[in-house]
Amino acid sequence: MEIKTEANLSHLNDFILLGFSDSPNLQDILFGIFVIIYLSILIGNGLIIIITKSDAALQTPMYFFLGNFAFLEICYTTVLLPRMLSDLWTRNKNISLLACATQLFFFLILAGTESLFMAVMAYDRYVAICKPLYYTLIMNHKMCIQLVIASWISGAPILMGQTYQVFSLPFCNSNILNHFYCDMSSLMLLSCGDTFWNEFSVYADVILFVIFPFILILCSYTRIFISIHKLPTVIGRSKAFSTCSSHLIVMGLFYGSAMIAYLQPKSSYISGVEKIISLFYTSLTPLFNPLIYSLRNKDVIMAMKKIFSKLRVMKD
């Protein structure tokens, strides 16, 4: 493991990711924990994809978005967790400049897509509850595909430029990244150049890809709650709210942890608390999402029972 100082950073080829601990024993424990987390994310979200694609009762826009969201969660965590697991297993924490830039780019793209996707899912619930007579007309298959594609590609040019801007900085303080992945804030702390415009662009991106979608979600749910309150029966209100509650919980976990991580004042050091907060929106939210959506959704539970029943029949 080569640690470079200011004297020999003119030709920087790699960084060192400190991760969570230098203790060999604790790293073994962390490896086991994150293997379980990653496998659970793959299995849980993979099951959501299979259910939403195979069950005829779930061929609606809501579950179309849920299946795509589960696929996004798998991609999102795959950008970070396999690399972290490799570092914990091999004890080799070096990451090349190209690998670091690639990881940052895909992480930014997928995080921005997830934020936009949540806004799309909130809009779907708004149309379903506030404009039920026009739901099938507005949320037709073509519109659903367009919204999914727009969520995936709309941020790519901006975030590609953001990644290029960060890696254009001169790194001359150290090559040690005090994080478990190539985080933008950690990278800027290593620069000896002027990072004002980089920091400004970070906040601009947070406003564009986090705050703005969050405001759209709040507006959608404000209209939804008003419409639910006007429903004549308690059963109707309960049923309408149950279709939104899972999304609200997932949204709270993702946006809450992301805003805390990126809107707090930056110091010259990335603390352990900040890394734990990062874990929430990079690993724990994708882990909890399948549980939240399945345990709080009768249609998903029924579809899961059908699949397991078919598997038992095939086994017998």
Q: Is residue 111 one of the residues assigned to a domain?
A: yes
Q: Is residue 236 one of the residues assigned to a domain?
A: yes
Q: Is residue 220 one of the residues assigned to a domain?
A: yes
Indicate the SS3 state at residue 178. Answer: coil
Contact 104, 159 (CB under 8 A): no
Count of domains observed in the chain: 1
pTM of the model: 0.87
What's residue 93's pLDDT? 87
Q: What is the 3-state secondary structure (H, E, C) of 44-68?
A: HHHHHHHHHHHCHHHCCHHHHHHHH
φ/ψ of residue 2, rounded to 5: -100, 120
Q: Is residue 4 one of the residues assigned to a domain?
A: no
In angstroms, the CA 292 to CA 1 distance is 41
Count of residues in the chain = 316
Give the residue among 118, 123, 163 at the shortest CA–CA distance from 143: 123
In angstroms, the CA 69 to CA 289 distance is 10
In angstroms, the CA 157 to CA 91 distance is 35
Partners of residue 94 on adjacent β-strands: 16
Would you tell me the crossing angle of helices 24-54 and 298-315 to the nearest 10 degrees?
Answer: 90
What's residue 6's pLDDT? 46
Q: Is residue 2 one of the residues assigned to a domain?
A: no
Residue with tokens 């303080």: 173
In angstroms, the CA 2 to CA 10 distance is 14
Would you tell me the crossing angle of helices 196-206 and 156-167 to the nearest 10 degrees?
Answer: 160
In angstroms, the CA 66 to CA 74 distance is 13
In angstroms, the CA 283 to CA 310 distance is 31
Range of the domain at 57: 13-315
- For residue 118, the Cα-to-chain-centroid distance in whole angstroms is 10
Per-residue pLDDT of the chain (316 residues; tens, 9 = 90+): 555 544 444 457 789 998 876 666 788 888 999 999 999 999 999 999 998 888 888 899 999 999 999 999 999 999 999 999 998 888 888 999 999 999 999 999 999 999 999 999 999 999 998 998 999 999 999 999 999 999 999 888 888 988 998 998 888 767 888 888 998 888 888 888 788 888 888 888 888 888 899 899 999 999 988 888 887 777 667 766 776 777 788 888 888 777 777 666 555 455 567 777 888 888 888 988 888 877 667 778 788 777 777 777 776 6
CATH code at 139? Answer: 1.20.1070.10
In angstroms, the CA 63 to CA 245 distance is 15
Q: Is residue 3 one of the residues assigned to a domain?
A: no
Q: Is residue 5 one of the residues assigned to a domain?
A: no
Long-range contacts of 233-242 (CB under 8 A, 24+ apart): 240/129, 242/296, 242/297
Q: Is residue 1 one of the residues assigned to a domain?
A: no
